[in-house]
Amino acid sequence: MKLPAILQEAADEVMEMQVAPLIDCVFLLLIYFMVSASLKKTEADLGISLPGAAMQSQPASMPDEQLIEIDDRARIVLNGKIYDPAGASDLPELTATLIRYRQACVAAKTKSLITIVCADDIPHQRAIDVLNACAAAQLKNVSFGMKQ
């Protein structure tokens, strides 16, 4: 059985796939995902080095030190006052208080020291939020303590 001429021409044509539109789609998707992705530094990349234990031969005089506690319910307590709600990550009240503390230390020409004491079961992000508040207040002498 012989096919008509039009059908014979269509059968002889080789169908080719257009690659250029596919490459365009791939690049558009790549650009979309690069723009919409949010870069967040993971906790493992922070590189915190903990100090070792050392014995002192004589007692040292400690300058005025502020103790920031993070309790079991992820509340932040400084000098007996609770700052910012437990879900907030920017901590504007704590940051403002720490800025005033740094300014008072500069005026008194003393060293500003901050110690962060965390409860055992808090999310690590809460401690990072407090560190970010200290960084926003330009405090550099920040250390971690343990509850006794």
19 DSSP β-pair partners: none
Q: Tell me which H or E stretch contains 77.
A: strand 76-78
Per-residue pLDDT tens for 59-107?
A: 555 457 888 998 888 888 888 888 877 777 788 888 999 999 888 888 8
Per-residue pLDDT tens for 29-45?
A: 999 998 888 776 665 55
CA 2 to chain centre: 73
> Domain-by-domain residue ranges, the chain?
64-145
Q: Report the alpha-carbon distance of residue 101 to residue 6 in Å, rounded.
A: 89
pTM of the model: 0.56
Average pLDDT rounded to a whole number, residues 123-140:
89
Average pLDDT in the chain: 80
For residue 91, the model assigns a pLDDT of 87
Q: Report the alpha-carbon distance of residue 29 to residue 40 in Å, rounded.
A: 21
Q: Tell me which H or E stretch contains 129.
A: helix 124-136
